[in-house]
Amino acid sequence: MFAWRDPATIVEALQDGGFVDPHVEQVDMTLRFDDLDDWWDTMLDMSPSLYDAVAKLDPAQRDELRDAVDERAGATSTGADRIELAARTHVALADA
């Protein structure tokens, strides 16, 4: 998902695909999760490479990773265990 972080990469891919006059805008948003488990499950679902890397860990390593991630992610908690993260996506428009 992060391979598309540069709008120029998106423009190039659209042009390579035969589209003309591509325009890319960034849209800011807030991602909201019920709790750290919800956030963790979503990250594993969205990132096959993260899922694969975590799957290779033994249980003790997974627990250690999860504890470290929870500690850092907890700083984004809004109370009542809810997590809110600032996010950005790209929206592209082009003619065929």
Reported as a single tens digit per residue, the pLDDT across 43-52 is: 999 999 999 9
Amino acid at 35: D
Contacts of 32 (CB under 8 A, 6+ apart): 82, 83, 84
Q: Which of 28, 47, 44 is nearest to 89 (CA)?
A: 28
Q: Are 14 and 22 in contact (CB under 8 A)?
A: yes
pLDDT tens readout for residues 73-90 = 765 556 667 888 889 899
CB 34 within 8 A of CB 91: no
Take residue 7 and report the two structure tokens written for it.
């709008």
Structure confidence at residue 79 (pLDDT): 61
C-beta of residue 87 within 8 angstroms of C-beta of residue 1: no
Give the chain's residues under pLDDT 50: none
Q: What is the pTM of this model?
A: 0.66
Q: Are 24 and 90 in contact (CB under 8 A)?
A: yes
pLDDT score recorded for residue 78: 60
The confidence score (pLDDT) of residue 74 equals 67
